[in-house]
Amino acid sequence: MTTSMTIDLKPTATPLSDDERAARMTNPGFGRVFTEHMVTIRWSEGRGWHDAQLTPYASLDIDPANMTLHYGQSIFEGLKAYRHADGSIVTFRPEENAKRFQASARRLAMPEIPVELFVEACDALVKQDRAWVPGAEEQSLYLRPFMFATEVGLGVRPSNEFLFMVIASPAGAYFAGGVKPVSVWLSKEYVRAAPGGTGAAKCAGNYAASLVAQAQAAEQGCDQVVWLDANERRWIEEMGGMNLYFVQGSGPGARILTPSLTGSLLPGITRASLLRLAEDRGYAVEEGKISVEDWQAGTADGSITEVFACGTAAVITPVGSVKSTDASWTVGDGGAGPVTMELRKALTDIQTGNAADTHDWLHKI
């Protein structure tokens, strides 16, 4: 099977009117409104990737013995398409999502879709549904590529057929009233990932397993969970859907630290991009280890000035306060710090076309 495949375009015969679409795109929130099309590509043992189609968005017919429902071979990605002032549309580093999707597939014993085909599928959907890409500030079209087992049967083994899909959802501003710091709960009872586990993969089960801790965070009055390492419950790993950054010191001499990719946290594309952008700006950047005690002591003695989380959905979110079973503290003054906001602007300016794309990160549709 070649890596370049023609996607058979079978668009809807009854497209929405401009007014109907505009009504659905008003205050879309996140992940509740979907565009009019979807891409499907099948994989089967012996045949490889085939039957690539763009069709009207529709329900799927699932057999009760579909293997995904029982054993969870299911992975996904998340990336965004942005409309620039000149009307052109771009996605941000889609090849990186494709490579991470391949890594997730390997970990879950699933077939790897070629990078070119993954990107082609995203492009085809955005092209078809380009009217759904919002143009207002902080808005975008969120793309959700995913793949799951489609074999019917209850034997525990890798499925011999899979469905890869892309759907898209217009996303409003994550912070409608301006960037707002989040409060976080340090989860010591539950762990997200253990050495040798699936923490570095973007698989559905990781998120299912995180929900009870997220509920616990909410009970504690916190917005998000911060995950610690499985062995000692001491080292900071990441948040539920974002990686973490710690700023030490201030001004041009500030040092920026993010937990290293130990295998049990997700290698975020925003995280990787910010490492480069922080370096470009002359900050000392380090991937390393930081413990809960380091965080608490560094906040108390003023050496840790800012902490922020980063990911595709919210770009950068300041962390304002921290709570665990035995302590709670406020980071800096509890607001959004200058390094946090500088890096946020640096990244969003590239994504939205307001700054030069010096790293060649934008992919024109």
Contacts with ligand PMP, residue ranges (CB under 6 A) = 78, 238, 241-243, 266, 268-271, 311-312
Give Cα separations from 259 to 10, 181, 243, 267, 361 (angstroms).
Answer: 45, 20, 8, 10, 23
**CB-based contact 340:247 (threshold 8 Å):** yes
Select 38 or 143, whichever has its Cβ closest to ligand PMP: 143
> What DSSP string describes 306-329?
EEEEEETTTEEEEEEEEE-SS-EE
CB of 78 to ligand PMP, least distance (A): 5
CB of 268 to ligand PMP, least distance (A): 3
Who's near 276: CB < 8 A, 6+ residues apart?
Answer: 359
> Could you report how far apart the first and last alpha carbons of the chain are, in Å?
24
CB of 344 to ligand PMP, least distance (A): 13
CB of 199 to ligand PMP, least distance (A): 8
Select 92 or 283, whichever has its Cβ closest to ligand PMP: 92
CB of 17 to ligand PMP, least distance (A): 34
Select 96 or 151, whichever has its Cβ closest to ligand PMP: 96
Q: What is the rounded CA–CA span in Å between residue 163 and residue 44?
A: 9
Select 38 or 98, whichever has its Cβ closest to ligand PMP: 98
CB of 283 to ligand PMP, least distance (A): 19
**CB-based contact 283:339 (threshold 8 Å):** yes
Q: What is the rounded CA–CA span in Å between residue 7 and residue 40?
A: 9
- Nearest in space to 74 (alpha carbons), one of 201, 211, 239: 201
Select 269 or 304, whichever has its Cβ closest to ligand PMP: 269
Select 83 or 202, whichever has its Cβ closest to ligand PMP: 202
